[in-house]
Chain A
Amino acid sequence: MKLVLAAFCTLVAVPAGAAETGADVLAKVDQAMNSFTDGTFESKLLIREPNGQAREIGFTTYQKVPDKRLVRFSSPGDLKGMGVLVENKDTMYVYLPGFQKVRRVGTHVKNQTFMGSDFSYEDMSQTRYSPTYDAKLVKADDKSWELELTVKGGQETEYPKVRMWVDKTATQPTKVQFADAAGKVLKTEEYEGYHIDDANHYGPAKVRVTDHRRNDHKSEIVFIGVKLNSGLTDDLFTQRSLVRGH
């Protein structure tokens, strides 16, 4: 992941026959996920309830690699106008139009679910695995790699163990299982419909998350529009911009 925004990549040439280590593959995944300078992602979040109903949230994410992110919500009405600015991993702001106030929020909100979905704020803000995990290549075939990730010493994460299946064409994960220290799978992410979405970049059409701790509760993000490397400036990722709303 962790995911979403990061699930856009270049057509990175992978030497299929090379003797690769898990670390090599993970580095390629990170590279592919962050191989653009900026991006605008218009998305739809679907939160599927056990009774079959689905709530829909519309939002646009502006991202400037590596850290800056601005999320603006467009629907439903009670979220419209709300914005979240992530300047870096320690600095986040929320703009609530009802209060007309930008509020600095502690990074504890990373533990919160993103609008009641199965995504967390941490999911929405982290795009590289290598700084957090050591990787072991457990399987490889013509089309995919299978990696086993273990949290590095000194790093803190909700998921100390991760298993990842990587598509060799996109150099992107197709499935990621997040587990606790005992290996119990807590959450699964699945990426579907990789396609060339912009100037030799791959991106998924959809990301689905299943939270096994919530009776296999499911959420998915459907990407409606993607624009990469359009030259977003730093001015966009400021508190003033958050208030302006455009």
Chain B
Amino acid sequence: MRPTKRGLLVAVAAAVLLPSAAVRADVELKFGGQIASDIRYRLGGEETPPAGPNSVVPFPSQQRLLKYGFSRNENLIKAQLTLSIADRVKAVADIDFYWYGYSDVNDIQAETLHERVDPYRLEANAAYVDIYKLLPKLDLRIGRQVVVWGTADKFNPTNNLNTLDLSDPLLFGKALANNMVRADWNPFGDVILTAVWVPIFRPAQLPRTAPIAVTEANRPAPVQEQYIRSTLGAFAQAMPPTQINVLTMQPDPSISNSQVGVRLAGRLLGMDASVSYYHGRWGIPTPAWAVQKPNGIVDAIVMWPKMDVLGADIAGSIEKLKGLGYWVEAAVFFPQKITYGVYNDIYGGHDPITFEPKGTKDASGNEEFQTHIMGPEFQRGTVIPSTPFLKLAAGADFTWNKYLYSNLQYVYGFIDEFGAGRQCFARPNSMPGDDPRCEARIGHYLVLGSDLKLFSDQLLIRFFGAFKVPQIGDQDPRFTAVLFPQLAWAVWDATEISLGAFVFLGPRDSKFGDPAAGASEIFMKARFTY
């Protein structure tokens, strides 16, 4: 019997659809996410940007940070999708959609645009494909992802493949996803060799207060040599800048700017142990040039220093101490040397300001220089010396009973600290060129806290704090700390309301009192996770 046209169509359709239906039957789909709200109020911060005729952001704007005012009014819808085929392939997408909750309407045209009346942003935390057992004992992951290394709690000096989201102190330096290729080889037992390639560098997300660190006129020049710092300070005093523009020099998307990392992890004497190597860049930019232009305008240029990092970590449990958990994580950083190129464009040229060593020292033991304006070029000030430096985190945690958990950690080198030598702060109410307060760039910290869980874990009372410990050589040591009290109530399955505060303590010329670090906030959050 001759097939009809309709019969042929059905046969073709069946041939096309049936195999794909068979394939799709193997795909397992999981969907989840979160709906959340976050409202914060700022207490006693500095206005950012300051109101005034030179303000970059037009005044008034709801996006300004006030001394007292709402600093966050955010809503989040998170969506996570996982597709997997047996135990061979998994594809993961994790997208955050945020509404800022501020309008950014600085003219009548803006008020006609949805994205200005109700600004939003999208953040992809993951968009990758896993291929398991690509070769025997070899897994591959390609795409936007986070690779977390290290055994310490939150402070991980060996964890440098992803830069950090420093925009929100409550995230405690959440890693930012980036496009990567990751291979894991598990030759035997617990031994895993991981290699990661990151083609394009993604800078850290800075807090909204960060520009203060480079735009305040009285900040000392970020150089190590005391004489050069004083000289540049004297220049700033003589010609106070009226406006500081901060420009960036991003790494080119070249192969030489790729990041790579290798880590070997396994078990040693009952401990988890690993060694790692990373080649790439530090995620937080550092000043590298300053160009004096006419009318008091200064262009400051920042860049992201290259670095190599050798790391190691261990973690375990001490049964003789009732199962006390412990960890030690350390990394030696070998940074690219960054110098401070200073140029004077006031007189129509591009005249370098450099310094010739005199070979003598002043009464305090500081090296003396001769200042040269215009050529020939001599030495620049050093922002980041090439001297290797150490960062370390060592800690322990313990559960006392069903209700109380405690965690204590010593941290040498906070998450934003980089480079050997010293950093200097402008003293409160100081003028450009005034004597700054200097201390070691890599600081000692004690981070400690406890969780108290009540009512079947439905109520969490948390109190954590990080305290800076002065070290020898710090000028006029300051008490400075951050405190994080929080009350979280799991009102029902997957539903939580929390109240709390993040409190910065210390004077303006200290680590946490510096207005560039942020300001104290109280917060109220609600979230439902599905």
Taken together as a complex, chains A and B put the C-alpha atoms of A108 and B130 apart, in Å, by: 34
Q: A100 at the A/B interface (Cβ < 8 Å)?
A: yes
Given the known interface contacts A77-B530, A240-B139, the answer about A111 and B493 at a Cβ–Cβ threshold of 8 Å is no
Taken together as a complex, chains A and B put the C-alpha atoms of A116 and B319 apart, in Å, by: 24
Taken together as a complex, chains A and B put the C-alpha atoms of A35 and B317 apart, in Å, by: 30
- A105–B325 CB distance below 8 A: yes
Please give me the residue from chain B that is nearest to A97 by CB atom. B80
Q: A217 at the A/B interface (Cβ < 8 Å)?
A: yes
Interface string of A231-246 (1 = CB under 8 A from B): 0000000111000111
B494 surroundings in chain A (CB, below 8 A): 76-79
A108 surroundings in chain B (CB, below 8 A): 317, 322-325, 397-399
Q: A52 at the A/B interface (Cβ < 8 Å)?
A: no
Given the known interface contacts A112-B405, A244-B130, the answer about A107 and B319 at a Cβ–Cβ threshold of 8 Å is yes
Interface string of A113-124 (1 = CB under 8 A from B): 101110010000
Q: B32 at the A/B interface (Cβ < 8 Å)?
A: yes
User: Closest approach, in angstroms, between the C-beta of A27 and any C-beta of chain B?
Assistant: 26
Please give me the residue from chain B that is nearest to A81 by CB atom. B32
- B132–A244 CB distance below 8 A: yes
List which B97-139 residues lie within 8 A (CB) of chain A: 130, 132, 139
Given the known interface contacts A78-B494, A80-B32, A240-B139, the answer about A106 and B323 at a Cβ–Cβ threshold of 8 Å is yes
List which B429-467 residues lie within 8 A (CB) of chain A: 453, 455-458
Q: A49 at the A/B interface (Cβ < 8 Å)?
A: yes
- Tell me if A's interface is mostly helix, strand, loop or mixed: mixed
User: Closest approach, in angstroms, between the C-beta of B127 and any C-beta of chain A?
Assistant: 14
- B456–A109 CB distance below 8 A: no
Please give me the residue from chain B that is nearest to A99 by CB atom. B148
- Tell me if B's interface is mostly helix, strand, loop or mixed: strand
Taken together as a complex, chains A and B put the C-alpha atoms of A92 and B90 apart, in Å, by: 25
Taken together as a complex, chains A and B put the C-alpha atoms of A238 and B137 apart, in Å, by: 13
Please give me the residue from chain B that is nearest to A213 by CB atom. B402
For chain A, which range describes its interface: under 10, 10 to 19, 20 to 34, or 35 or more residues?
35 or more
**Set B28, B402, B529: member contacting A113, Cβ < 8 A:** B402
Interface string of B211-252 (1 = CB under 8 A from A): 000000000000000000000000000000000000000000
User: Closest approach, in angstroms, between the C-beta of A66 and any C-beta of chain B?
Assistant: 18
Residue pairs across A and B with Cβ atoms less than 8 A apart, 16 shown, are: A55-B492, A55-B493, A76-B494, A76-B529, A78-B496, A81-B32, A92-B317, A104-B316, A104-B317, A106-B323, A107-B319, A108-B398, A109-B399, A110-B323, A116-B458, A244-B87
State the 9 A-B residue pairs at the shortest beta-carbon distance, nearest first.
A106-B325, A116-B457, A107-B323, A77-B529, A76-B494, A108-B323, A76-B493, A106-B317, A116-B456
Binding site for B on A (CB under 8 A): 47, 49, 55-56, 75-81, 90-92, 99-101, 103-113, 115-117, 120, 214, 217, 238-240, 244-246
Binding site for A on B (CB under 8 A): 28, 32-34, 82, 84, 87, 90, 130, 132, 139, 146, 148, 151, 175, 184, 186, 190, 192, 270, 272, 315-319, 322-327, 396-402, 405, 453, 455-458, 492-494, 496, 528-530
6 more CB-based (< 8 A) A-B contacts, given A79-B494, A105-B317: A47-B456, A77-B529, A92-B317, A104-B325, A109-B325, A239-B192
